[in-house]
Structure 1
Amino acid sequence: MKTKNWSKYNYLFKNEEKYYLYNSLSNSFGELAKDSYSAINHFIDCGDVEILDQTLYEQLVKMKALVNNDQDEINKIKYITLSRRNDNRKLILTINPTLACNFACPYCFEKQHPNIFMDEITEDKIVNYIKNHKDAEIIDVTWFGGEPLLAFNRITSLTKKIQSLKLKYNASIITNGYLLNKNIAKELSSLSITFIQITIDGMGALHDKRRCLKSGQPTFETIIHNIDILKTLNPDIFVSIRVNIDHTNDDDFLKLYKFFQDKHYRNLSLSLAFVTDSSGCHSCETMYSRELQASFIKEMRNKYNLDFSLIYPRPQRNECAIRNKNAVVIGPEGELYKCWNDVGIKNKIIGNIEGKITNEHLLLRYLVGADPLEDSNCKKCLLFPVCGGGCPFSRILNEYEHKHINVCPLIKDHMEDFLLTHALTKNQY
């Protein structure tokens, strides 16, 4: 039997007389028999000893725990990552038809933005921008803001122009949900919108304290009513309910989960988003440390059987579209950014919709700066094959603005706990 090398991307451990192996090259995880665990340990200790159990050997090769060469496997991952960054077939656009918003959320970066709306001239320039990408076969649009539904007429007219180009087109929208009324809900399918993200930060009283109208009026009941209408008229549209968690509303997450569970909607899920501080503008008392984030996730899973994507790496290496040369954020006046976080900030504009680059050094930072593929610490990490390096925006702040933001996935510091939590999930379904 041919002897292979034990991958450095293996994580082998024992817990309460059970034995487990995780490998990040294949992102696979399994429980081992005791004799298999012993045979593997012997192989690791001696190095050149063959694994004689043919079934075990084949399984370890399949999950890439045994490889010819780790670097060859990493080269494949690098090649796929770089190919995605430079794929001309797909154009990824985040379009802000307005920077105006009808909400006054205390933690939102958008609250300082002016009430600017896109005009038809800019709309036509966006269409020309798409046409100038001759190799594009797929257009992926996310409608963002401000509150994009304040400019629903612009969304409608621009969508029709893009659809007329006869390219494969898909869209999503990030909205506070307050204006998602019956008339708009009926139109979404014709606009190729298949995904909606709506933020709800708890049950009625708590949500209304955190996410009220600029007039101070509540929003919870209207948003829930709108979701009910949407799910009646367009049940196939996937709705992601984002819950921004900090110390002021963490107790409401479970209540909100049960509230939506009782509605029995299909194509709807809740996602966690811990409120963190990358700018120094927010009160530290409300923020969740990484330890508390991990504890909250594990508690929700172990006590209440709620599963979250943060527990286990995604099956494919996931990297933010910032790194893609054909991904841009378009402001309402045709200004271009690379990151959602930069919208409305003049010195973060990289160019304009007519193709002129005005801030090349910032553009290059987003494309290749603070690159995890070149980071010595990343390359040594067990999770390098599955981790996209964390948020590029935060990585760039760390490297160029001397911030100290931890960009690593939570699982890195909680490998055994998170893997065992994942195993519990798999065993119950």
Structure 2
Amino acid sequence: MPLNRDDHVASYIDNKIFFLGGGTDTQNLTNDFFFLDVSIPFNTSSLPLYDLNNITEIPYNRRASSVVCETVNNVIFVWGGDFGFNSSSPLIFAFNTTAKLWNAANDKGIKPPRRRYSSVVCDKNAKIYILDGTADQNIGNTSSPYSNELDIFDTSQLTWSLGSILNAPAPHDIGTATLLPGGIIVYIGGSNSFGKYLELTQVFLYDTLKSTWSTMNTTGAPPTARGFHTAVLTRQGHIVVYGGENAPLTPVPDQLVDLDTNVQPFKWTTPSIDFTPNPAPFRGHSSTLVGNYMIVAFGWFNNGTGSSRSNKIIMLNVNDANNYMWVSSFTPPAVLSATSQPSASISPNTGSKNNIAEIIGIVGGVVGVVIISAVIFLVYRWYKNRDDINVIPSDDAFKRSKEIIS
């Protein structure tokens, strides 16, 4: 499976980043399916990638959007995108990471037109908000090519509804949507016609609790207008915007910018970083936040004479908003938490009686563990020798699929 690709989707769930679809140098559409294991430390020169193509049950696709709802366990939702000339393909696909199964959502209500390059988030009520995007007859939509329709998909009821468009941004595509903890969606950038890009001096805000739109004029050094960028929200409340173009296939000069949402109005800064990895994509890539790392995968990069698809993954450490750093080594959040725990403090000596009580408690605990272990062992031997047990075969399809990608 070639790794070089663009316009794929990436979804972080169950300590894995699942990658799906996109275009490669040999195929305009694919249904390639694989994941990056982020439960273990690794280096970008040796990535723990695993092939899942033997359980892919979704049409060939590109320019779709994916989202994970934090209140819906073990499910990735994939919306819209190009499916060739198969305009009858379902609008919403769902992958269950536990059952390892793909399903088309049996959605109800007034279904929206299929679109590509949409901005998608999911709130705490498991509602997916889908804004903007483009469409044409190739994906079963003959309406206006640019959209500012806000479609809401309730994953618990599998029903569609329309959000407000009063004071919504103009129809556009290739922007980003970021959900803040308070229920506000921040929409940044995009394009409302070929070669024209939205300024980042103004961002659009949608309040999911009140169903209302507003705009905010940002402060700080104004970044270059752009589309085809990505955005992640750090644990410190900063939206890190990476990549983008301000003319067709022309990278913006300020590839990395930061929007601080802790201040009102939000403030832009351009981080000072010593170097940028090579090749560094500027469009068609994905960015996923895992712990302290923004993991940027694949996409188009400038090779000096033109653009090529990348087969690389690069990482930015975003732990310190004043000191972002491109790094080659990854440490999982669980390992970080374990290593950052303070050492156990030693209580002052309060007398020998307390020490004796502590010793008695420890000895009693050890004896209790020994007794329980002996009982468990005897029960296990009796259970193992029974003749009336029906063994249910385990589902090892996922294990068989874990063939590492070289």
Q: TM-score, normalised by structure 2?
A: 0.25
- Structure index of larger Rg: 2
Answer 1 or 2: which has greater helix percent: 1
